[in-house]
Structure 1
Amino acid sequence: MTTTPEKYIGRFAPSPTGKLHFGSLVTALASYLRARSKGGKWFLRIEDVDTTRIEKGAIHSILTTLEDYGFQWDDEIIFQSKRSDIYQDYLGILKTKNLIFNCICTRREISKNKKNTLSGEYVYGGKCRELHNPSRLKHAKRIKTFEERITFHDLLRGKLRQNIAEDVGDFIVWRSENFASYQLAVVIDDHLQGITEVVRGSDLYLQTPRQIYLQKCLNFMTPIYAHIPVVLNEFGQKLSKQTKANPILKENARDNLISALNYLGFDYGTQNKIIEISRNNNEILENAARYFNLKNTKF
């Protein structure tokens, strides 16, 4: 069931695998303006649950850059790397419902399964589901899925219907390196922070049904979702560390903010009006929130 909250709470949740780039800025700006335009709160969460992927100095760089660009978050910052005990507690709830099993399948083995043509991911075939693999063997933990259709309405992309068992299969909720998967951690954190709406990149659109499935299993409410189009480079690739996206710099903040506003559908007249009445980056964001309309973001 989707929430119908009295108070809006949004969030931005970057992974510290590198410095913020223009694509990160667009996502941060969309979620921030949406929250402020609703008179709500905006939380900052650092998704560093996978400590092996953290780039040295990235967390400090992310926080400094957001401040330089005028972002102001509410409440304390959450760091997923400090919340393993919380995730384990909720994993225990799933275990008591007989939904968790140990999986020793390798990536090579899983690559022999059928592939989901939309997501490009291999569908888990259920090999370890009834084998009762001992915990002393290196293993991941998967959640059992059933022939259930998950349907949700995205504010920008419309309705998505997915059969979890057929399109995804039993998916990992605890990694073999002994930390929570992204899917489990994000669902728990959104619940505990009271997130009412998630504004994020469209690269996560097809992963939303499995998060809703976890919410159902844990008796959580489902937030509203809006997936904005990701920023692509000249080769049609998503901007990321892997595609060597350039970090955004403090000295280019004003120009980058204007470019991001343009990407989110602000017309030139409105952009100019915002710039004229804004003395600094904080005021650019404050004034942009007055004119922000999520529906102007087009695919």
Structure 2
Amino acid sequence: MRIAVTGKHGQVVQSLLRRGAETGVEINTVGRPEMDLSDPASVAAAFSALRPDVIVSAAAYTAVDKAESEAELAFSVNAAGAGAVAEAAARIGVPVIHISTDYVFSGDKASAYCEEDATAPISVYGRSKLAGEKAVAAANPNHVILRTAWVYSPFGANFMKTMLRLSETRDLLRVVADQRGCPTSALDIADAILAIATRIVADPAPSLRGTFHLTGTGEASWADFAEAIFAELSKSGGRNVGVERIPTADYPTPAKRPANSRLNGEKLAGTYGLRLPEWKKSMTIVMQDLLNKGL
């Protein structure tokens, strides 16, 4: 199977490259300079040349706070760009797997969000990603949209790596405790994408298409996540770092974050038989990867 992935340096892209090397699946990354998401013609040309079996739309503008002052750029990449990728996939007759986010929800619900719950993004980033979902669905009915959340990995910039970096010089860190979500390893996301791609290439069933939630099993606050990271660090002989649990109000940011980012994964489990590992188990695996490499 040949998979084309938009982007080159993101966490999901790098995780797919690792898993592809381990499993023998051909992963081709596509991005600048050969492809410009703001130019539909270059998007179409890039995929026509590759002739993949499936396209993974992973490239995104992810600077959540910066998006508040760069809305046009965020929408250009996350909405128009995502639509162009889906349209290019439709033109060559292949499915597209698009990566989306918990930020399409307001965070006001008391329990985990299901796919059918009303979307109501509270940030420019969230609105641009929701527009991207709609553009993908409109451009290519042969699509799978995967909403995920709180992504971390051995690659790129993420919460886990930030905590480990700060732990080198700090004995106590103030971390938000009133936002809850599902920490999700990008390596687990890559495993799920490969499984889903294999199914949808072979099976045209409409039930395999649509929107699905894909996150680590279980839930945590950011403070819980930080405490688990530091506990694992301590077990591995690292420094002992404390966590001061603070409310969101004590850590103001330009963009609002959903207080509840929990996503219900039952639809994915029922349709594909996929359920990601418990988040602490995956966290330990990624932590060891980072610690073995010296962060």
What TM-score range do you get, normalising by the shorter chain? under 0.3
TM-score by length of 2: 0.27
TM-score by length of 1: 0.26
Looking at both structures, which has the greater relative contact order when contacts are Cα pairs under 8 Å and sequence separation is at least 6? 1
Highest Rg: 1 or 2? 1
Where is the helix percentage greater, Structure 1 or Structure 2?
2
